[in-house]
Structure 1
């Protein structure tokens, strides 16, 4: 155990926690930045039974993020549990209610969960290719830009109204259909590829079914929580049972990641009351392009 390993874990924890909810791909950043600074194998070779500890450590940090989201949206998740209990008794749900929203959350997590299990091994190979991740990050910026441009077209007839009044003309989460919920959940599956943002793709899909920015962001954050939690449950045992990676350092990273994610969620929830996706699109374009140039002409990775 050395100081550099602690620094790497803390930096990755901050990076993951801050960027997880921002639509700029936290996973993409935690692949690209270690490669840019030459960290390579996070664990130094043998700490995970001869395999890289990078992926299990990153997923452990995601566990801290998912716990922060559970805490931030605890009322929503309590309602989900109540809904499951009520449906088991009454066998019906009324559309347009909070119970309906809970049902939409449950359904929306299914596509990414299933695809994650089916494609897990194939997608893990991308973690060793930072150039591919950088290119996907650039594409992520394009998805955000196109999604916001399409929303502006939908707002064209409301151009004379103030931003808040324009938003009021779009749909609330309670009005979504099952088909639309599954569509937004399917969009989340793109984030299985490092470089695509989980929150970005689901917010764009939410805007595509005419949700307000605020409800599109809220639905995105809620859909991501169980998927992140499930992925963490699969990978964390690698660190706990097959490695010499310090338990206390894993916990420290999870706490740092969780606190950073909680603060980011609080900020973005307020931001999307009137904010747009454009700034994040410009950032992804710049970050992806700069990274590709560095790898092509400077680092030769």
Structure 2
């Protein structure tokens, strides 16, 4: 009896996850659509596929955390200072950024626990994912249309300056709103990074700062969700896919790192528009191909 996911399939799906998670194009949507287009007998609600996704998501979260390790060290120290002093010093941008991330993480985590299975069951088909991928593209174009400021050469500054700008620019309501919007990524086809980056643009962040904030905000959600489900990978649901999961995780780690580096440089001067056009084109084409 063959394994439900082969090593080659695991590498392809892992590499795709690693690219599509940081990119605003929906990793889950691509992970649902691609197997159907290639004729693979893999479905998003299969227990073994969900166990496989745990490994690739955990790999992506680890890469995100290590890439922004210096930021997280500053944020952790800031949170520690605020807990020690029982207040957030207005001048302590690291502490404020830390609590903004907490404010954005809690609603997404609560909604994820409450709605994940219902949304997966409701929008489980590849055709549904293709339609929502098209909608994701429309939303990306809308974010660009309604953004509060255009890219400027002076936006490119050291990371610490970016964190300070994020902390000073975002209000608590905006942080909660952007974090809540992450829950839309539970629907295959809607991008977590697209929602957070778009929310940052609407709040007045620069391209680069919106991407940076989106990556920071995604790290605990992706990582904690993967850790929460990690026992499934080592239980019965992981039988036959652990080798593919390891291969997929390694592929996801490599492509995630490359994607993050590319995006932070790309967003120094560019916009979400190309990704919006891609999602609309890919979503419509996939809808037609799946119908055929």
Is TM more than 0.5 here? yes
Contact 1:31–1:127, Cα closer than 8 Å, also in 2: no
Structure 1 segments of 4 or more deviating over 4 A? 1-4, 165-168
> Match for residue 213 of structure 1?
207
Out of 228, 231, 237, the residue aligned to residue 237 of structure 1 is 231
- Residues 55 and 92 of structure 1: CA distance in aligned 2, closer, same or farther (over 3 Å): same
Aligned to 1:288, which of 277, 283, 286?
283
1:214-251 alpha-carbon deviations (Å, 9 max, x no partner): 11110001111111112112322212111323544422
2:63/2:256 contact within 8 Å kept: yes
Cα distance in 1 between the residues matched to 2:98 and 2:233 = 33
Q: Do the aligned partners of residues 70 and 139 (structure 1) sit closer, same or farther apart at CA in structure 2, a change above 3 Å counting?
A: same
C-alpha distance in 1, partners of 2:257/2:117? 30
Equivalent residue, structure 1, for 2:116? 120
Q: Is the 8 A contact 2:136 2:279 kept in 1?
A: yes
Say which of 11, 36, 59 aligns to 1:64. 59
Where does residue 189 of structure 1 map in the other structure? 183
- Stretches of structure 1 that go unaligned for 5 or more consecutive residues are none
Aligned equivalents of 1:78, 1:165: Cα separation in 2: 26
Task: Give distance in 1, aligned partners of 2:247 and 2:239.
Answer: 16
Tell me whether 1:224 sits opposite 2:218 in the alignment. yes
Contact 2:48 2:239 in 1 (8 A): no
Most deviating of 201-210 and 100-109 = 100-109
Aligned pair count reads: 283
Between the aligned partners of 1:90 and 1:163, the Cα distance in structure 2 is: 37
> Is the contact made by 2:28 and 2:188 (CA closer than 8 Å) also made in structure 1?
yes
2:23/2:193 contact within 8 Å kept: yes
Choose the corresponding residue for 2:100, options 89, 100, 104.
104
**TM-score normalised by L of structure 1:** 0.87
Distance 2:48 2:243 in 1: 15
Q: Given the superposition, is the C-alpha separation of residues 127 and 230 from structure 1 closer, same or farther in structure 2, using an over 3 Å criterion? A: farther
Cα distance between partner residues in 1 of 2:209 and 2:5: 41
CA distance in 2, matches of 1:283, 1:92: 45
1:86-105 maps to which residues of 2 (within 5 A)? 86-95=81-90, 97-105=93-101
State whether residues 187 and 201 of structure 1, in contact with CA within 8 Å, keep that contact through their aligned partners in structure 2.
yes
Q: How does 1:6-155 map to 2 (within 5 A)?
A: 6-41=7-42, 52-95=47-90, 97-126=93-122, 128-151=124-147, 154-155=148-149
Segment of structure 1 superposing worse, 6-15 or 244-253: 244-253
Q: Distance in 2 between matches of 1:246 and 1:19?
A: 21
RMSD: 2.5
